[in-house]
Structure 1
Amino acid sequence: MAASVTPYRTPVIDAALDRAVTMPSATIRGHVDALRRRNPEATPERIIELLGKEYVRVMQGAGGAVGAAAAVPGIGTGVSLALSSGDVATFFAASSAYALAVAEVHGIEVHDVERRRALLLATVLGDSGAQAVTDASGRSVNAWGTALLTTMPRSTLKQVNRVLAKRFVKRQLVKQGSLTVGRIIPFGIGAVIGITGGRALARTVVEQATKAFGPPPAEFVRPTVIEG
């Protein structure tokens, strides 16, 4: 179920967000389970570490592919600009999948779209996103993600999402825009900037997801399903 567009979001951003936060829970759970099967001795802490490494690789690859397109004869900056638009959607989808997978390892499986949206926006905004959650909710900054997904009232959640959406458009799009310019520089330079930028964005999300849920559990537990 998609949320209505707020005054602080554009149709392109809104569509990308909606796709990212409506990812099937079974897909997230299946990925975590597959990672555990490949690493049968891994603790929850190790699985979260592996999820982070996967996510960083995806973002580096996406950023580098966009930059590299500008260096290919006959393709150039036109196609690179088009790829950059799709790269924003990749960023949202990969970031949402990563954050929800971390929540899964912490024993939280959330189906509610608005809670997922708040988690995604807050993690991609870094410390600014965490602060927005605490300012709007009055809750402690420690392990704010758990409270956001499990106990935060709907009325507070709506307020949090309004604040996060406004802050995202004002701040994050400036960052994304500057990376897009860097990625379309020809002669292969854009690929380096794209990889570096993708890694920087990913590390912000990884760091914030770590803060959002606190220390990993000592052992795997059956997730609590949050429907609304």
Structure 2
Amino acid sequence: MAGAIDRIFHPAIERVARTRYEPAREVVAGLQLKYRPGNADELIKLIAKRYTRELAAVSALAGGAAAIPGAGTGTVLASSTVDLAYSITKMGEMILAIGIAAGHDAESLEQRRSWVVSVLTMANGAAAGLEGVAGRIGSAGGASLVGRIPDENLSSINAKLSAQVLTKFGIEQGALRLGRLVPFGIGAGIGAGGSALITRSTAKAARKFFEHEPAGGRIDDRCVTDLDVAGRSIEGSIQARAMASPTEA
């Protein structure tokens, strides 16, 4: 199950980072032109409302397809898979749009990935057990903190945050239950109401991420160095466990 979710989650996050930043800018510009919001907070509310409506409509359609009498497992799987990939992509685009509306700029692909996986981690309470900078970002947020971390260090943080999200929603709960896709609460059969709740929750986490500076102050060179050491230690532990595991005949 975890492998199946990996094949959906990681490409979707990559798609967001590589192709959805400019569309997110266009969404923000369009809402500003149409509604003339008085401040960033009003603009963010408009963004959340737009994506909540869109994702709820898609989820309702997917749920309807899964509920068709006589629909086989293949139909449910196809509907759920497409719905999840689309939902992650649009959720990521919403996160980027909220960041832009809040006055932030993700100059690199790694920063855009960090925005998305950090907010998803916060929204789903998946940061439990994470320590150091990754734990601070995943639990309390802080886009300005992300902006001061070099891309090579962000890559390590993003991998840890993504693993936390996948662990919570993929390995522990499984990808499919009764034809419904569990990760993120959005999928075939979950319905428009559930989708709206999850989207609003994610938008709330995004608002916190882009407005809140984590306790503990700024990140300095020593903190980045410690992060490098921790990352190498984790990689070494993983390799050691893999070497120690019995191989199949």
TM-score grouping bracket, smaller chain normalisation: 0.7 to 0.9
Shift of 1:143: 5.1
Could you tell me which amino acid in structure 2 is paired with residue 168 of structure 1? V
Q: Calculate percent identity across the aligned residue pairs.
A: 22
Q: Is the 8 A contact 2:37 2:43 kept in 1?
A: no
Show structure 1 runs of 5+ residues with no match. 1-6, 184-189, 216-228
Cα root mean square deviation, aligned: 3.1
Q: Is the 8 A contact 2:111 2:151 kept in 1?
A: no
Q: What secondary structure sits across from 2:165 in the alignment?
A: helix
Aligned match of 1:211 in 205, 208, 211?
208
Q: What secondary structure sits across from 1:126 in the alignment?
A: helix
Task: Check if 1:96 corresponds to 2:92.
Answer: yes
Could you tell me which amino acid in structure 2 is paired with residue 177 of structure 1? A
Aligned equivalent of 2:113:
117
Aligned match of 1:171 in 163, 168, 173?
168
The CA distance in 2 between the partners of 1:176 and 1:117, in whole Å, is: 24
Task: Check if 1:29 corresponds to 2:25.
Answer: yes
Aligned equivalent of 1:202:
199
- CA 1:132/1:122 → structure 2, altered by over 3 Å: closer, same or farther? farther
Task: Check if 1:146 corresponds to 2:144.
Answer: yes
Count of paired positions = 201
The CA distance in 2 between the partners of 1:109 and 1:132, in whole Å, is: 29
Aligned equivalent of 1:12:
8
Which stretch of structure 1 is more off in the superposition, 131-140 or 63-72? 131-140
Runs of 4+ with >4 A deviation? 73-77, 129-134, 137-143
Larger RCO (CA under 8 A, 6+ residues apart): 1
- CA 1:23/1:205 → structure 2, altered by over 3 Å: closer, same or farther? same
Shift of 1:182: 3.6
Shift of 1:160: 0.9
Q: Is the 8 A contact 2:127 2:164 kept in 1?
A: no
Equivalent residues in 2 for 1:57-68, closer than 5 Å: 57-68=53-64
Q: TM-score, normalised by structure 1?
A: 0.73
Q: What secondary structure sits across from 1:108 in the alignment?
A: coil
Q: Larger Cα Rg: Structure 1 or Structure 2?
A: 2
Could you tell me which amino acid in structure 1 is paired with residue 39 of structure 2? T
Aligned equivalent of 1:181:
179
